[in-house]
C-alpha cells in the first residue's frame, strides 16, 4: 500500500506571550493513495495546524511527516517550497484566483512556477477544465464566473501537477447549498473515478460525511476515527 501522506507522533508547539501552546500533541495518521479523509473538530482542536503541516506551510516541532517518499522534516526551506508548489494541490474557501487571468491561465499558474508552459502542459490544463465542466469558460475571468465555477477552476488548478493529494480547506464555506452539493459531487467523482487522494478540512458534518474516513481532533489529539 503506497501512502500519499504519513504522520508519526507529530507534535507542534508555539510560543505565545510567554506560554507554550501545544497545537498538536502526538498525532499519527496514514493516508493511502486514493483515500478520501476529512479532518474535523471544534475551533482550536488543531485542524488548521494539521493543514499547515500537510501543506508544507509549517514544520512539526517533533515527530515524522512523510509526503509520498519525502520525509519533509529533513528538507530545507527551498526543497520544502518546491514540494509545496509541485506535489500538493490546494483548494481554498476563498478560491484564491488571480482576477486578471482567464480560467485557462489560472489553471496554468502552478506550471509557470516550475517553468513548464509547454504545449503538452497547456493541453493538460484544457483537459482539466473539461474534467470540471468549464470547457466553455476558458476565456472568462473570475468576475464573470459564479462562486461554484470559481471553485471548479481552483480544483482544476490543484490537479495540474499530479499532486500527492488535494488539500481542501473548507472548500464549500462560501457556497450556497445547491452549489455545495455540486462541488462535493465533483470531489466524489475525482476520488471514485479518477483515483485522486483528497484530504479535506471542514467543520460541517454533512461535508465530512462524504469522505471515506473522518478524523476527529480534540485539543490537539485524535479523539476518534469514523470509517464510512
- Going by C-alpha positions, the residue among 21, 15, 20 that lies closest to residue 45 is 21
Domain count, the chain: 1
Residue position matching grid coordinates 509547454? 118
Describe the strand order of the beta sheet including 165-169 as a list of residue ranges.
88-92, 165-169, 198-201, 36-41, 213-218, 221-227
198/38 Cα distance (integer angstroms): 8
What is the CATH number for 197? 3.40.50.300
Q: Is the pLDDT assigned to residue 136 strictly greater than 90?
A: yes
Q: Provide the whole-model pTM.
A: 0.92
Instruction: Over range 143-147, report the average pLDDT.
Output: 95
As beta bridge partners, residue 224 has 216
On whether residue 212 sits in a domain, the answer given is yes
On whether residue 73 sits in a domain, the answer given is no
- Domain extent, residue 105, equals 35-60+88-227
pLDDT of 116: 65
Q: Is the pLDDT assigned to residue 7 strictly greater than 90?
A: yes
Diameter of the chain by CA atoms?
55
Q: Would you say 56 and 30 are in contact if contact means Cβ atoms under 8 Å apart?
A: no
On whether residue 202 sits in a domain, the answer given is yes
Q: pLDDT digit string (tens) for 23-42?
A: 999 999 999 999 999 999 99
On whether residue 197 sits in a domain, the answer given is yes
Amino acid at each position: 500500500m503506497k501512502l500519499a501522506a504519513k504522520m508519526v507522533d507529530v507534535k507542534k508547539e508555539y510560543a505565545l506571550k510567554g506560554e507554550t501552546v501545544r497545537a498538536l500533541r502526538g498525532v499519527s495518521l496514514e493516508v493511502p493513495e486514493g483515500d478520501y479523509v476529512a479532518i474535523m473538530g471544534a475551533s482550536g482542536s488543531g485542524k488548521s495546524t494539521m493543514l499547515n503541516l500537510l501543506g508544507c506551510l509549517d514544520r512539526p516541532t517533533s515527530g515524522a511527516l512523510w509526503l509520498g517518499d519525502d520525509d519533509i522534516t529533513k528538507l530545507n526551506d527551498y526543497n520544502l517550497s518546491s514540494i509545496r508548489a509541485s506535489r500538493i494541490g490546494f483548494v481554498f474557501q476563498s478560491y484564491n484566483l488571480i482576477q486578471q487571468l482567464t480560467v485557462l491561465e489560472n489553471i496554468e499558474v502552478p506550471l509557470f512556477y516550475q517553468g513548464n508552459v509547454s504545449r503538452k502542459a497547456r493541453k493538460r490544463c484544457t483537459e482539466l477544465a473539461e474534467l470540471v465542466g468549464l470547457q466553455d469558460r476558458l476565456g472568462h475571468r473570475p468576475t464573470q464566473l459564479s462562486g461554484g465555477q470559481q471553485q471548479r477552476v481552483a480544483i482544476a488548478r490543484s490537479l495540474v501537477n499530479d499532486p500527492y493529494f488535494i488539500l481542501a480547506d473548507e472548500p464549500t464555506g462560501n457556497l450556497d447549498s445547491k452549489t455545495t452539493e455540486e462541488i462535493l459531487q465533483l470531489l466524489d467523482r475525482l476520488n471514485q473515478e479518477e483515483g485522486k487522494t483528497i484530504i479535506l478540512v471542514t467543520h460541517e458534518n454533512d461535508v465530512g460525511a462524504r469522505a471515506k474516513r473522518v478524523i476527529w481532533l480534540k485539543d490537539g489529539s485524535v479523539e476518534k476515527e469514523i470509517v464510512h
